[in-house]
Homo-oligomer: A and B are copies of this chain.
Amino acid sequence: MRDVARMAGVSAQTVSRYFKNPDLIGLGNRERIAKVVADTGYFPNPAASTLSANRTNLVAVIVPTIDHSIFSDAVAGLAQTLEARNHGLMIATNGFSLEKEEQQVERFLAHKVAGIVLIGQHHSERTTRLLRASGTPTVELLEIDNPPIDIAIGLSNLAAARDLTSRLIALGRRRIGFISAPPEGNDRVQRRLEGYRAALESAGLPFDPGLVAGAEFRIENGARVFSQMHAERPDIDAVISNDILGLGVQLQCARLGLAVPEDVAITGFDDLEVSSILERKLTTVKISGFEMGTLAGEMLLERQSRDAIAPEVVDLGYEILWRDTTP
């Protein structure tokens, strides 16, 4: 930078301003520096900048896994927003482990990232404490049922599941199964389960643990788990699930000769493209990971420029798409 400054006949500080805040310097100098920069291909060293200014233009995101489209959608939205605003994105995966998440948060804070995006609101106590203490803008994505660390963007999984369950009950279903991802380490699923139970309770229906099961995100798992559940609870007349597992349930119903939605109603969650691939399209709760990621990026960057602000919660809501697998 000093070389560039010398060639342009200005001080290093002026060159620094040229990159950070061009309208603070005079037009003549601005053009002169621009020319030298173009000629030499000079680019400021981000490490030096970070060290000196104690901040970066890097945002970090920690997702359980990138293999699931709801998360990769969110990352895609985030990446797009950040790129447009000249910020970089660091990514880490924790495989639903709060301990790994804590380590990753620690590392990212050491990197002085401009912001951190986490999935959900279930973190180790130390994670929460570190984030609060650091003052780093933080977004919790996909869940808003709890008080946020800083910013929470998403939907109430509890409300969505309660709503969905209530409507199935209103449609006359009495033996409703709940097949989801394993609830361990996945707070969203816990909240949905709560919503499901709340709806049963308000309707005066009993909660039967035999109608609840968890399985990893694979179509075949949905089929297998439903198969077992149906063997033990032949009177099951509806299944609340997600799009991947729900697809498996739907396939298994066909194999078992059960009519959908007459014998068994099925609902998904996410509105993936595959949920409408079969003849009978899956009824599902639509949420937009991409939109959440985009908004997360915008809010993080905006928060940088302001001073400490009170926590914020943004409810992006959900939409139930009633399609062919419900009556």
Contact = CB atoms under 8 A, between A and B. Distances in A.
Interface of A: 43-48, 50-51, 56, 58, 65-67, 69, 72-73, 75-76, 79-80, 83, 88-93, 100, 106-107, 110-112, 218-219, 247, 251, 273-274, 277-278
A278 B79 CA distance: 34
A105 B47 CA distance: 16
Given A51-B47, A219-B277, A277-B219, A91 B67 contact: no
Nearest to A56: B47
Contacts of A218: 273
Contacts of A66: 66, 72, 75-76, 79
Given A43-B110, A51-B47, A88 B88 contact: no
Most chain B CB neighbours (cut-off 10 Å) among A43, A46, A106:
A46
A111 B72 contact: no
Most buried by B among A69, A72, A107: A72
A92 B80 CA distance: 8
Nearest to A218: B273
A23 to B, nearest CB: 23
Given A45-B110, A47-B47, A277-B219, A76 B65 contact: yes
A289 to B, nearest CB: 10
A105 B324 CA distance: 47
A76 B93 contact: yes
Nearest to A111: B46
A260 to B, nearest CB: 15
A277 B249 CA distance: 12
